[in-house]
Amino acid sequence: MRVGLVDIDGHNYPNLALMKLSAHFKATGHEVKLATPDNIKDFDCGFASKVFSFTLMPELPDWVEVGGSGINLKVALPDEVEHLCPDYDLYDLDYSLGFLTRGCIRNCGWCIVPEKEGPIQVHADITDFAKHRDVVLMDNNVLAHDHGIRQLEKIAGLGLRVDFNQGLDARLIDDATARLLAKVKWLTPIRLACDSQAMMPYIQKAVNLLRWYNATPRAYFVYVLVKDIPEAMERVRFLKGLNVDPFAQPYRDFRTNIEPTKEQKAFARWVNHKAIFKSVLWEDYRSQYIHMSKI
């Protein structure tokens, strides 16, 4: 049987669910390929996945099974497929991808994770899916579970290079955790999140501890959620003062899917374009945009 897999969000980010479906069908002797909405009719069966709510839904034959958090937060892969090692060849990846834990101990109002994944729980062992030296981990709060801590010790022992691309929870970085994180090899600078001003003291403490224990590279990367711009600016100035790298993300409510404003997008562009951020003040950048009628 020829199985077609449609990545509705495009191919900028590899789709983990499709890679697991690919592993499942290849293991049972089927031919599997990435397909498009245009050529899926040439396959015998098809699956499509949409992670983001803001990507457009294409027309697909009604026999194509569609899933993903951009469609329905509660639809999941069958357990036996969910825990397969992904087929990295589907996207020609030279790194591995997965989760050690799912869920989170917190309940931030802007976040999809509590509704989608629930409380934190064990998901997998790193050796279940790490087939390369470099591994991207998408855990939402790995430090909040003993299993996550044990897996970090294992990762350090195996000499893998990792990126926790959703960021680590600075509130959970104490002396022992910082020492452990310093033993890990990092694919990118350690990522933290400073989504409200209440996080600032925790970020300061975590950065001090990580630097004290020489967790390198030392210019950590910090996500900054942008709703109210003057409030976000306070956090960005604080982070610049700490000599870490802020990365602004304009707020998009996953329930209403309302687009961020042009000003929020311009602010994020200013923060994230490092050459501009270092040389141009926001006030000047903003007035240039107003002058060009872009806000």
Contacting residues toward ligand SF4, per CB under 6 A: 104, 106-108, 111, 113-114, 140-141, 169
Neighbours of 282 (CB within 10 A): 17
Q: Which is nearer to ligand SF4, 57 or 108 (CB)?
A: 108
Residue 6 · residue 12 · CB < 8 Å: no
Residue number, 109 or 230, with CB nearest to ligand SF4: 109
Q: What is the nearest approach in angstroms of ligand SF4 to the Cβ of residue 107?
A: 6
Strands 101-102 and 121-122, bridge-based pairing: antiparallel
Q: How far apart are CA 213 and CA 204, in angstroms?
A: 14
Rounded to whole angstroms, the Cα distance separating 53 from 135 reads: 26
User: Nearest approach, Cβ of 114 to ligand SF4 (angstroms)?
Assistant: 5
3-state secondary structure of 127: helix
Q: To 5 degrees, how large is the angle CA 12–CA 18–CA 22?
A: 125
Residue 106 or 185 with smaller CB distance to ligand SF4: 106
Which of 74, 291 has the CB closer to ligand SF4? 74
Q: Which is it for the CA torsion 235, 152, 113, 67, positive or negative?
A: positive
At closest approach, how far in Å is the CB of 249 from ligand SF4? 11
In whole angstroms, the minimum distance from the beta carbon of 270 to ligand SF4 comes to: 23
Nearer to ligand SF4, 58 or 118 (CB): 118
- Pair 143, 168: CB distance under 8 Å: yes
Tell me how far, at minimum, the Cβ of 144 lies from ligand SF4, in Å. Answer: 8
Q: CB 141 → ligand SF4: shortest distance, Å?
A: 5
Comparing CB distances to ligand SF4, the nearer of 196 and 204 is 196
Rounded to whole angstroms, how far apart are CA atoms 162 and 199? 24
